Amino acid sequence: MGWKKSVSIYPIKRADLILISLCLLTAALLSVYFMLYREQGSTAVLSCDGVELSVISLPESGTTYYLVRRTKQGVSVEKYTGYPELPTAEAFNLFAITDGSVKMEAADCKDQICVHHRPILSVGESVICLPHRLVVEITDGEEDRDSILDGVVE
């Protein structure tokens, strides 16, 4: 018994390998470019249900905690310099701003995806808590976000 030579219906040709290599090289170069030339944000925009709750300046040093509570009366944002006591009777999200980055520290949602998200610090990055419909997004703080749409529409 000897080895049988396998015959493929669609053999990979040299042109296919060149095309795959070019695609991988392009993806690698774009990844490096976007990693090296990220712009660090200066503000964090906090919104819930599409309504902007707060615009927070990102400090260069120190840690500040923000507790977002969702009650029957609405949503409130509270600022703390130390780790606050977490509520048990209402829905909440706690995020910390440390050295220019934002990290979701705690939430009472079931999936905890927002809590396990890495800290964000570059313009355009965001942490989203879907069960509470809460979004924390990093911006550069210079332009009005609504004017972007108006510029495109004009």
Q: Annotate 51-118 with DSSP letters as a single string.
A: EEEEEEE--SSSEEEEEEEE-SS-EEEEEESSPPPPPSSSEEEEEEEETTEEEEEEE--SS-HHHHSP
**Mean pLDDT in residue range 54-64:** 88
Nearest alpha-carbon partner for 122 in 64, 67, 58 = 58
User: What DSSP state is assigned to residue 99?
Assistant: T
Q: Where is average pLDDT lowest: 6-10, 65-69, 119-123, 133-137?
A: 6-10
Q: Rounded distance, CA 4 to CA 32, Å?
A: 44
pLDDT at 114 (0 to 100): 92
Nearest alpha-carbon partner for 129 in 79, 93, 84 = 93
**Mean pLDDT in residue range 148-153:** 54
Higher pLDDT, 58 or 18: 18
Mean pLDDT of the chain: 86
Q: Rounded distance, CA 39 to CA 100, Å?
A: 12
In this predicted model, what pLDDT tens digit does every residue of 77-117 receive, in sequence order?
Answer: 999 999 999 998 889 999 999 988 999 999 998 999 999 99
In this predicted model, what pLDDT tens digit does every residue of 124-149 receive, in sequence order?
Answer: 899 999 998 999 999 987 655 555 55
Q: Bin 135: left if φ > 0, else alpha if -120 < ψ < 50, else beta.
A: beta
Contact of 58 with 100, CB cutoff 8 Å: yes
Q: Look at the block and give the residue holding tokens 């419909």.
A: 133
pLDDT at 100 (0 to 100): 86
pLDDT at 10 (0 to 100): 75
Q: Rounded distance, CA 68 to CA 78, Å?
A: 6
**pLDDT class for 26, splitting at 50, 70, 90?**
very high
pLDDT at 97 (0 to 100): 92
Contact of 52 with 136, CB cutoff 8 Å: no
pLDDT at 25 (0 to 100): 97
Q: What is the pTM of this model?
A: 0.71
